[in-house]
Chain A
Amino acid sequence: MSPKTLYDKIWDAHVVHESDDGTCLLYIDRHLVHEVTSPQAFEGLRLAGRKVRAPEKTIAVPDHNVPTDPNRLAGIKDEMSRIQVEALRQNAADFGVEMYDVDDIRQGIVHIIGPEQGWTQPGMTIVCGDSHTATHGAFGALAHGIGTSEVEHVLATQTLIQKKSKNMLVRVEGKLPPGVTAKDITLTIIGRTGTAGGNGHVIEYAGSAIRELSVEGRMTVCNMAIEGGARAGLIAPDEKTFEYVKGRPHAPKGAQWEMALEYWKTLTSDEGAHYDKIIEIDASEIAPVVTWGTSPEDVLPITATVPAPEDFAGGKVDAARRSIDYMGLTPGQRLSDITIDTVFIGSCTNGRIEDLREVAKIMEGRRVKDGIRAMIVPGSGLVRAQAEEEGIADKLKAAGFDWRMAGCSMCLGMNPDQLAPGERCASTSNRNFEGRQGYKGRTHLMSPAMAAAAAITGRLTDVRELD
């Protein structure tokens, strides 16, 4: 048998049917549903008189629209948001799908709660009507975003019509310098490959620097595979992964756990497996980075300066000019001289407990600079509760942070947490597109540690230089 990549193995294990032209019907093990991309899918089922084929393999959670202020149980004020969340509630009830509602401590960002509940496991196929489904790839699951028509397709048939993508390997070898985190790795990769670099591919992240990361750090890396153009990112599962899954509510138990474990240990790429594209990165050369523009590929080390449009080629010249203008920057300006108004810590990229611990560590003995709006939005009710139990929440509140309820929050302005026009934000989220965090808002993406550093000084700051 020819050697297979991890992606090949998971793919092969899920093919229900293959046509002569290579179009496959792929079985889907887990389906996550949120309020924004599902109403039209359930509506489609209703119109056609169809049921959800496997409700026990489906969970629903509202996250994009929910307010994050502590009084949110009083109800959602925005009429359209409220209707969308109510529609999810109704659809979950009508079609027999389990839902973690706003008043449930397990509610949170869909990509945070999947792993948290043990719903995400190695070797699975996982989909969600959301591009950051790639996050779950950190467990060695083939996980990707789908559109609403496909959501409906999966609800009705528990399968997807797919053609296989190409294999791409991103190998990060070596030791990360101090102050450099998973977020810097993933942003650096996108800076190198561009936002279209992974188009048509599934990326497997490998190498000692990836192995060294915690499971949560790996989720941060895979989360942004989509920003690199790949639909999915994958990391082979190992002992850390198994340990993470073990004992969670939906994890296999008893004899089934043993059986699962044995299978999961086979989920690595074979020696000599073929990759269509290979990128090698030296971990020791990665620096703490920030984005300067309005595409996630606009990444530079914090020690750099704002580029000039002429530094680029082709269509990127105009795009860079537009970005620099939108972001209100000047070519040649030092990135560390850019002052900010707001700090947002949260999202499915960096809203987990380790991220909050990291921020708390940086804030030790320090405070948010006066006049800076700084918010922390835990990725789930359980992350929030844990941070409170560990005493992190109190410390962060004392340091000047606003401590919010779980949700997508300012990662995208669909709920009340938004940037005002011209407002500049140091953000741990994943997209710096125009208007993403609010109309004419300006977003700089970075790690939680770097966002904390920015909160302290009020400007983009090299976390290594904090005294």
Chain B
Amino acid sequence: MDKFEKLTGIAAPMPLVNIDTDMIIPKQFLKTIKRTGLGANLFDEMRFDREGNENPDFVLNQPKYRDAEILVAGDNFGCGSSREHAPWAIKDFGISCVISTSFADIFFNNCFKNGILPIALPQEQVDLLMADAEKGSNARMTVDLDQQQITTSDGEVIPFDVDPFRKHCLLHGLDDIGLTMEQAPSIDSYETQLSSVRPWI
């Protein structure tokens, strides 16, 4: 799995609330059997018209945000489906950190599996970061996972919470499956017990 340690980059502002997974990556791009290449279609229906021309107003089409690595978004980001294509597309585009007041659970989980750090913060702090992001490409913010803090382009420091286990996995790029496989004896004994208490399973 990809690591996330510390990132200094451009943050793109997307104040729209309830950005759903169909907006992030519309269903016609879910037909791939690969994990890669989805960045080209991130936010497809907002980013391009039917003929594939860029919509110049869309934030990630503006020259100053083309190389954004951080997204500051409105409430409830990532609601909708379980499609991991959403974080795959975000990551493939080059964004590795999303900041909002809240996230949909499945999307939030999926981020950690793909080297993306989702950060939930109170409204005032998201507003402050949104304003910072709106300054454009000269205003770079820094996200430091180890220290659990964001530094705005003005040097203001905002601490954030993260689950310790997930932080550990993200910092070290650990593979969940490998970790769980080490617990095979516990799974074996659970199954043995299961076959006597709930044999119909």
Q: Which of A50, A322, A439 sits near B177, CB closer than 8 Å? A: A50
Q: Which of B16, B45, B201 sits near A439, CB closer than 8 Å? A: B45
Q: How far is the CA of A163 from the CA of B105 in the complex (A)?
A: 11
* Closest residue on chain A to residue B33 by CB atoms: A39
Q: How far is the CA of A302 from the CA of B109 in the complex (A)?
A: 37
Are B20 and A259 in touch, CB under 8 angstroms? no
Are A414 and B105 in touch, CB under 8 angstroms? no
Is residue A422 within 8 Å, beta carbon to beta carbon, of the partner chain? no
Q: Tell me whether A16 and B186 are in contact in the complex, defined as CB-CB below 8 angstroms, given that A36-B30, A431-B22 are known contacts.
A: yes
Q: Tell me whether A131 and B106 are in contact in the complex, defined as CB-CB below 8 angstroms, given that A27-B194, A153-B180, A433-B23 are known contacts.
A: yes
Smallest CB separation, A402 vs chain B (Å)? 22
Are B165 and A147 in touch, CB under 8 angstroms? no
Q: How far is the CA of A87 from the CA of B80 in the complex (A)?
A: 25
Smallest CB separation, A201 vs chain B (Å)? 9
**Chain A stretch 1-60: residues in CB contact (< 8 A) with chain B:** 16-17, 19, 21, 23, 25, 27, 29, 36-37, 39-40, 43-44, 48, 50, 53, 57
Are B106 and A260 in touch, CB under 8 angstroms? no
Are B15 and A21 in touch, CB under 8 angstroms? no
Counting chain A CB atoms within 10 Å of each CB, which of B83, B105, B179 scores highest?
B105
Is residue A358 within 8 Å, beta carbon to beta carbon, of the partner chain? no
**Chain A stretch 301-322: residues in CB contact (< 8 A) with chain B:** 314-316, 318-319, 322
1/0 contact string of B1-33 vs chain A (CB within 8 Å): 000000000000001111010110011101111
Q: How many residues of B contact A (CB 8 A)?
A: 56
Q: How far is the CA of A263 from the CA of B34 in the complex (A)?
A: 42
Are B177 and A315 in touch, CB under 8 angstroms? no
**Chain A stretch 75-107: residues in CB contact (< 8 A) with chain B:** 78, 80-81, 83-84, 87
Is residue A336 within 8 Å, beta carbon to beta carbon, of the partner chain? no
1/0 contact string of A155-199 vs chain B (CB within 8 Å): 011110101010000000000000000000000000000011001
Q: Which of B18, B22, B31, B199 sits near A80, CB closer than 8 Å? A: B31
Q: How far is the CA of A57 from the CA of B198 in the complex (A)?
A: 14
Smallest CB separation, A165 vs chain B (Å)? 8
**Chain A stretch 368-414: residues in CB contact (< 8 A) with chain B:** 412-414
Nearest 9 pairs between A and B by C-beta? A252-B200, A315-B17, A80-B31, A149-B113, A39-B33, A145-B82, A147-B110, A147-B84, A196-B76
User: Knowing that A196-B104, A263-B198, A435-B27 are A-B contacts, what are 13 other residue pairs whose CB atoms are under 8 Å apart, sorted by A's residue number?
Assistant: A36-B83, A84-B33, A123-B198, A131-B82, A146-B106, A157-B187, A195-B18, A196-B102, A229-B79, A229-B104, A433-B20, A434-B45, A436-B22
Give 15 A-B contacts (CB < 8 Å), ordered by A residue: A27-B190, A80-B32, A83-B33, A84-B33, A123-B198, A150-B110, A157-B181, A196-B104, A200-B105, A229-B104, A257-B200, A315-B74, A316-B17, A414-B30, A439-B26
A→B interface (CB under 8 Å): 16-17, 19, 21, 23, 25, 27, 29, 36-37, 39-40, 43-44, 48, 50, 53, 57, 64-65, 78, 80-81, 83-84, 87, 121, 123-124, 129-131, 133, 144-150, 152-153, 156-159, 161, 163, 165, 195-196, 199-200, 229-231, 252, 256-257, 259-260, 263, 295, 297, 314-316, 318-319, 322, 412-414, 421, 431, 433-436, 439
B→A interface (CB under 8 Å): 15-18, 20, 22-23, 26-28, 30-35, 45, 50, 74-76, 79-84, 87, 102-106, 109-110, 113-114, 163-165, 176-177, 179-181, 183-184, 186-187, 190-191, 194, 198-201
